[in-house]
Amino acid sequence: MNADVLVIGGGLAATWTALAAAQAGGDVVLVDKGYCGTSGVTATAGVTHWFVPPDRHEQAVAERHAHAGGLADPEQALRVLRTTWERLPTLDRYYPFPVRGGEPDRTHNVRGPEYLRAMRGLVHRAGVRILDHHPALELLLRPDGSAGGAAGVRRQAGGSWRVHAGAVVLATGGTAFRSHLLGSRGNTGDGHLMAVEAGARLSGMEFSNYYTLAPAFSTMARSMSYLFGTYTDADGRELELPSGPDRNRVLGAALLRGPVFTTLDRAPEWVRRKMPVVQPNFLLPFTRRGLDPYTDRFEVTLLGEGTIRGVGGLTVSAPDCATDVPGLFAAGDVASRVPVVGAISGGGSPNSAWAVSSGTWAGRAAVKHARSAGPAPLHPAGRAGIRPSGRAATVDTTAVVDVVREELNAYDKNMFRNEPGLRASLSTLDSLWTEVEGSLTGTGRDAVTARETASLVAMGRWVKEAALHRRETLGMHWRIDGKEAAA
C-alpha cells in the first residue's frame, strides 16, 4: 500500500495522531498489532487528562516541575496544556463526558474502553485506512536514511504487508517488560528498536522503575483506591507510608521482607461510589473471590510499569515530535516525556495529555513532511530477530523473556539500584543480546515473537546502561549507593 503517513500503533496516541494527520489532509494508514481501539493500557483503565484552564497553565506547570529534578522544560509542558485544552473538547460529541453546571466536565476520569471506541470511530470517519492485526516488524528506509514506510506480518490473514509512506509516526507505547500489568502484554518496545536501528536516539531510560499496586492474585492495577489503604506486613505491623514517590520505596522494601496486606478502609464514600463508574473492572477480581476490598484484608504486590509510567523513550524535538531520523516521528509513550515531567512519573493525567498533544503535533508534521518527500527505492532496516548476524538457531524465547522480566521488575534489581547489581543485570542482558542478535529469527507469527523478544532485551539493556551512568538518586531513579541529587 501507499500513503502519505503511516501510523504504527492503535492506542490513545496512535488514534490522536491518525486523526490529526487526516484532518491536515493526509492520506493515512494505521497499522496495529492488535485491534485498534482495544490496544494498550488505556483500553483497560479509567484515565484523566492534564486539562487545565489557560489562566492556570503556568501555575500547574510550576507545581508539577517543583518535583521534576530540574530536567523538565516549562515551555514544552505549557505547549502540552495548550494543545490538550484545544483538542480534547473536539471529543464532546462522541464521548459522554459528565455534565456539571451545564458544561462537559473533562477533568475527571474517562472510561478507557469507551474513549478508545470513540477514537476509533473518529479515525475511521476521517478516512484513515485501519489495518488491524498487522504487527510491524521493521522500518523501510530511503537511500538517504530517511523513513519511507514499514513492513510486517498479517497475523490473521497470513502473509506479509508493506506500506510505502512519505512519513512514519511511531505510536507503539512503552513497555512494562511483561510484568503482567493489565493491558501491557503487547507493549514490548518494538517501536523503540525499529527507531534505534534507523538511527534514532533515546533519553531518560533510567527513569523506568515506577511500580503500581495490585492484588497479589490479579493484574488489576492502577487505581487511586490504593491511596486509601491500611497496610500491614506479615506480622500484622502497620506500615507508615509517606506520600509521594517514597511510598513505593517503603512498600518495595517491605515486600522484600515478606508479604504485605491491605484493606482499603480509608476510602471515602465518594471514591467507593465513583469507582464502579469510572473503572468498573477494578472490583471484578474481588467479587470473584467473595472479597470486599473496603472491609476485607488481602495481599498486594507491586507491578512494574517500565517506560509506561516511567518516562524514558525516543528523543523527539519540539515542536513536531521529530526523531533524529528524517521522516520519522514519535507520539505517546514511545517518546521520552522528560521535557514534560522531568525525572518523575508522567503516569495519569500528564501522560494522557501528552498522547493527545504529541499525537496532534506528530500527525500534522508528518503530513507536512510527506508533501516534500518524493518516491524512492526502499530497503528494510530490521536486524535482531529478523536477520541474525550469525547462523540462525533455535532460541528459547520464553526463557529469554523470563530473564528480562526478572532483571527489569525484581525490586532488588530495578527498584533499589546500585553499581554491582546494575552491572550484573547488564552482563546477563548482554549475553542474551548476543544470542538473540546472532541467532534468533522466525517467519509468520514466529517473526512477531522473535521481534518482541529482541525488543524486550534491547530495552532492558538500554535501561540498565542509563541507570549505571546516572550515579545519583533523582526522581524515580533510586541509587542506594549514590548521593541524592541537588535540589
The whole-angstrom separation of Cα 436 and Cα 427 is 14
Q: Is the pLDDT of residue 173 over 80?
A: yes
Tens digits of per-residue pLDDT, 242-285? 987 789 999 999 999 999 999 999 999 988 988 887 778 889 99
Q: How far apart are CA 307 and CA 177, in angstroms?
A: 9
Backbone phi, psi, residue 432, to 5°: -60, -40
d(CA 4, CA 123): 15
> Which helix (H) or strand (E) is 419 found in, with range?
helix 419-439
Hey, what's the torsion of the CAs at 119, 447, 163, 197, to 10 degrees? Answer: 100
Q: Which residues contact 16 (CB under 8 A, 6 or more apart)?
A: 87, 119, 331, 355, 356, 359, 360, 363
Condensed to tens digits (0 to 9), the pLDDT of residues 431-443 reads 999 999 999 999 9
The pLDDT of residue 237: 94
pLDDT at 100: 83
Query: How many angstroms separate the CA atoms of 416 and 437, rounded?
Result: 29
Average pLDDT over residues 358-368: 98
Q: What are the residues whose beta carbons fall under 8 Å from the beta carbon of 225, sequence distance 6 or more?
A: 264, 267, 271, 275, 282, 293
pLDDT at 274: 84
In whole angstroms, what is the distance from residue 17 CA to residue 7 CA?
7
Q: Are 145 and 40 in contact (CB under 8 A)?
A: no
3-state secondary structure of 359: helix
Percent of all residues in the chain with a pLDDT value above 90, rounded to a whole number? 85
Per-residue model confidence (pLDDT) at position 487: 46
CB 21 within 8 A of CB 163: no
Yes or no: say if 282 and 272 are a contact pair by the CB < 8 Å rule.
no
Span 175-213, pLDDT tens digits:
999 999 999 999 999 999 999 999 999 999 999 999 999
Q: CA Rg, the chain, in Å?
A: 22
- Residue 287 reports pLDDT greater than 80: yes
* Cα–Cα distance, 393 to 438 (Å, whole number): 9
Per-residue pLDDT, 269: 93
Identify whether the C-beta of residue 485 lies closer than 8 Å to the C-beta of residue 473. yes
Tens digit of pLDDT for each residue in 69-102? 999 999 999 999 999 999 999 999 999 888 888 8
| Residue 485: band (very low, low, confident or very high) from pLDDT cuts 50, 70, 90 | low
Residues 125 and 65: their CA atoms lie apart, in Å, by 38
What 3-state DSSP class applies to 156?
coil
pLDDT at 141 over 60: yes
Looking at residue 484, what is its pLDDT?
66
- For residue 136, pLDDT over 80 is answered with yes
Nearest-angstrom CA–CA distance, 440 and 132: 26
Q: Dump the DSSP string for 88-121.
A: GGGGTTTS-PPEETTEE--SS-EEHHHHHHHHHH
Cα first-last separation, the chain? 52
CB 371 within 8 A of CB 24: no
Residue 21 corresponds to which cell in the numbers above?
494527520
DSSP state of 174: -
Angle at 118 between CA 113 and CA 122, to 5 degrees: 145
Give the rounded percent of residues in the chain with a pLDDT score beyond 70: 99
- What is the residue whose three cell numbers read 470513540? 118
Whole-angstrom Cα distance, residue 361 to residue 351? Answer: 15
> Any idea what the Cα angle at residue 438 is, between residues 432 and 443, rounded to 5°?
100
| Cell numbers linked to 440 | 534468533
> Residues 363, 16: contact at Cβ < 8 Å?
yes
pLDDT at 246: 84
Q: How far is CA 282 from CA 109, 138, 276, 292, 355, in A?
A: 14, 36, 7, 12, 23
Strand 110-111 with 202-203, pairing: unpaired
Cα–Cα dist 467/476, whole Å: 11
Mean pLDDT of the chain: 94
Whole-model pTM? Answer: 0.96
Q: Quick one: pLDDT band at residue 130, thresholds 50, 70, 90?
A: very high
